[in-house]
Amino acid sequence: MDWRDGSLCLREDADLFFPVGDIRSGPTALQIDEAKAVCRRCPVAQQCLSWAVETGPVEGIWGGTTEGERRALRLRAVRPAATAAVTEAAA
């Protein structure tokens, strides 16, 4: 069984997870909040988030995060590795 088979989003309108518009306010922000609420109850949210972070830029809400939030997660993961490489090269 694939992790996606256990996702709650399969029982929802797919459009909920692909908001269009300004994510900071208005109907789009409410839609994002609604999608994230589904993710918070989802038993496979962590697998979903891991897939989205590993895959790279994917549109929509995955694992309870927006594309911008996942980009920040990837950058935070890369920075310690880059810092260690620079420190090691300087030694």
* 29 labeled part of a ligand binding site: no
Find how far residue 6's CA is from the centre of its chain. Answer: 17
The answer to whether 39 is a known ligand-binding residue is yes
Buried b (16+ CB within 10 A) or exposed e, 29-60: eebbeebbebbeebebbebbbeebbeeeeeeb
* DSSP conformation class of 72: H
Which positions make up the binding site for [4Fe-4S] cluster?
9, 39, 42, 48
Which positions make up the binding site?
9, 39, 42, 48
